[in-house]
Chains A and B, each alone.
Chain A
């Protein structure tokens, strides 16, 4: 008889090794939050923890941890456990569908998980939203801005119902969607006297979405959209492409995308080609990684970035409790990403504390009914689609090697200048 792993004729060391493997497998599967614990709830986040987006994810996680520390790891009668999950792969340097789906399934299968904070990328949210929706698990995104995730009639055909197979809503986002950022960016450009725009995107869900909304609004405003082109985010450089941008002679070049999708390289090539046009980028580029890749010095005063919500620079670091605590713990003022991570975690903690029982549906309903009066960036609530009621977009400019707040735009018109709120 041919021997195998299960054969009783195996020598003792072999059987011992096999037993250890079995025990370890069972042990690993049952440790952590898998066992139902009456006084403990788990809160998980799913963000890209490697690659270019890691910097932003780190800031979101810091915000989440700060919110948990503030309540001394307690949400009502429950002790909070936080798990920081990674949805990226080192080789690709970005989120992967497999990673995001695995995180969502893990959260759904664990009866102690009551909320899922994520994702950073709208494309990743498309993967996990249906999985979490079936399980009635509250999902709160600190960063997704693609309109189709929540708003009927604005995204792709079938959106957002394809993400809600149960027919119920479970997804909330604490940042305004691109239908605010794109059009308000166009309004800002029009106010500055821009009449000819060249629109570029990274061909991704987020980048293409925000750039299309920007271009549509530009046309409504009577501006000439010279071209709307998608780039290859894997390309090493864009020298050939920049030539055609320059020959179109735009007043403003808009890029919808992020540092991960070569926003920095594109900006660098535009500067190298001695482009005189204003460069306006979406909030995915409002990062250190973008400035490092583009060369901050060459963008001084000529590169602007929009970001959903109010800018953290508008608040005085010494006046806000969050800013004090954050600076005490991490040595810097919180970024937009950190603030949105913090707000997402606070929303979740309050919903769990208010409900007081481990009932996923009740926690979702409690979160949807939330009205935040003491929010870091003002008063806000959640509308019927799961979107924040915040209606502001900040515009920043590169100065002194970093993005500095310039202006606030809102649906009510152009906001007040220079940091006033």
Chain B
């Protein structure tokens, strides 16, 4: 493989890693707040993809110029984000909230159950086959400095980079962000009501919103969606969250980029069958040396993180 091809693969890896990172932030926020691995998160993202497919198919029946295309995609990402955010709140309030004081396995099994229910909703919504995302731009590739860059990949960056910047500002510069970062002090009992309850709702909304935004990026990147996409995407994103250090937002983003890069490079070097195995092999080796992940804090016995 020559340098140009390697850089091309890195570009694909960073693009896919970007939206995986956004999804991973969803996992990490929910885990950091209520100590729950929200297994249905990938399927919430899938439903966001279904909505964005409907919106884009309606608004962009034929390819358009880059500016119009970007605006329409940002609009679809916002709508999808709102939808997924609200859906996440509903899931939390109706399914997870009553189980806050239940044994740990009960909410865990519930998240898996919700995942299957949402998958079947997706099956009813878009059917069993892969559904093609509409072509947004008139031109499919653009040459920049000798490299051929797919317009779809540029569009993914247009969605992901501002979303990450907004997330950074939200977490660093607002009261909500500060509360969220000190969430370790909140116990599950207090999280049922009052200020902590509102914070949990806001966390689920933010987690879903980022997932909804990521779903548009995922659809634009893969050019198709299907009702089972949430499963594998969720698996990669959860891996990214663990690799980055579950509970750490920057860790989730960095973990997403690493997973995307490993996936793209292993596909190119080893073949597409070995992508999942390669990602998990790296995860296993890394966690053997640093169990808390890249940005995670090591756990002290009986204490808090």
Binding site for B on A (CB under 8 A): 50-52, 54-55, 90-91, 93, 203, 229-232, 234-241, 243-244, 247, 259, 262, 264-265, 268-269, 272, 274, 289, 292-295
- A229 to B274, alpha carbons, bound, how many Å? 11
When distances are taken between beta carbons in the complex, the residues of chain B under 8 Å from A247 are 1, 5
Interface residues of B in 230-263 (CB under 8 A from A): 231-233, 263
Give B127 Cβ to nearest chain A Cβ, in Å.
9
* B186 CB within 8 Å of chain A: no
Q: List 20 A-B contacts (CB under 8 A).
A: A50-B123, A93-B123, A93-B228, A229-B271, A229-B272, A229-B273, A230-B273, A231-B273, A234-B276, A239-B12, A239-B264, A240-B9, A243-B5, A244-B1, A259-B130, A264-B130, A272-B150, A274-B140, A293-B129, A295-B132
Query: What is the bound-complex CA distance between A55 and B130, given in angstroms?
Result: 13
Q: Is the CB of B12 within 8 A of A240?
A: yes
- Interface stretch among B29-37, B215-223, B289-297? B215-223
CB distance from A52 to the nearest CB of B (A): 5
Q: Which residues of B contact A265 (CB under 8 A)?
A: 130, 222-224
Complex interface bits, B5-22 against A, C-beta within 8 A gives 1, otherwise 0: 100110011001000000
Q: How far is the CB of B123 from chain A (nearest CB, A)?
A: 6
The 10 closest A-B pairs by CB, nearest first: A293-B130, A240-B267, A237-B222, A289-B129, A240-B264, A231-B272, A241-B272, A236-B222, A51-B128, A239-B12
Contact present for B224 and A238 (CB under 8 Å): no
0 or 1 for each of B118-135: is its CB under 8 Å from A? (1 = yes) = 011001000011111000
A90 with B120, Cβ < 8 A, contacts A231-B272, A231-B273 known: yes
In the bound complex, how far is the Cα of B116 from the Cα of A389, in angstroms? 45
If the complex has contacts A90-B123, A236-B229, A243-B8, are A52 and B129 also in contact, measured as CB distance less than 8 A? yes
Interface of B is mostly: helix
A243 contacts which of B9, B120, B132, B140 (Cβ < 8 Å)? B9
Task: Give every chain B residue within 8 A of A274 (Cβ-Cβ).
Answer: 140-141
* B205 CB within 8 Å of chain A: no
B273 surroundings in chain A (CB, below 8 A): 203, 229-232
Among B1, B5, B12, B128, the residue within 8 A (CB) of A93 is B128
Q: How many angstroms between the C-alpha atoms of A377 and B1 in the bound complex?
A: 49
Q: Among the listed A52, A93, A241, A293, which residue makes an inter-chain contact with B267, where contact means beta carbons less than 8 Å apart?
A: A241
Cross-chain contact of B224 among A90, A93, A268 (Cβ < 8 A): A268
Contacting residues, chain B, for A232 (C-beta < 8 A): 272-273, 275-276
How far apart sit A8 and B85, CA to CA, in the bound complex (Å)? 53
CB of A236 within 8 A of CB of B218, answer: yes
B21 nearest CB across to chain A (Å): 15
* Cα A243 to Cα B10 with chains together (Å): 12
A238 / chain B contacts, CB cutoff of 8 Å: 267, 272
0/1 interface trace, chain B 128-156, chain A, CB 8 Å (1 if under) = 11111000000011000000001010000
Contacts of A237 in B (CB 8 A): 16, 221-224
B268 close to chain A: CB less than 8 A: yes
B188-229 vs A: 1/0 string, CB under 8 Å? 000000000000000000000000000000100111100111
Known: A265-B224, A293-B224. A230 touches B128 (CB 8 A): no
* Pick from A50, A90, A240, A294: contact of B268, CB under 8 Å: A240
Does A259 lie within 8 Å of B129, measured CB to CB? yes
Do A54 and B130 form a contact, CB below 8 Å, given A236-B232, A243-B5, A265-B224?
A: no
Q: Which residue of A lies closest to B267 (CB)?
A: A240
Q: Which residues of chain A are within 8 angstroms of B123 by Cβ–Cβ distance? A: 50, 90, 93
Nearest CB to that of B115 among chain A residues? A91
CA distance A238 to B227 in the complex (A): 18
Shortest A269–chain B CB gap in Å is 7
| Complex partner residue of B223 from A90, A93, A244, A272, CB under 8 angstroms | A272
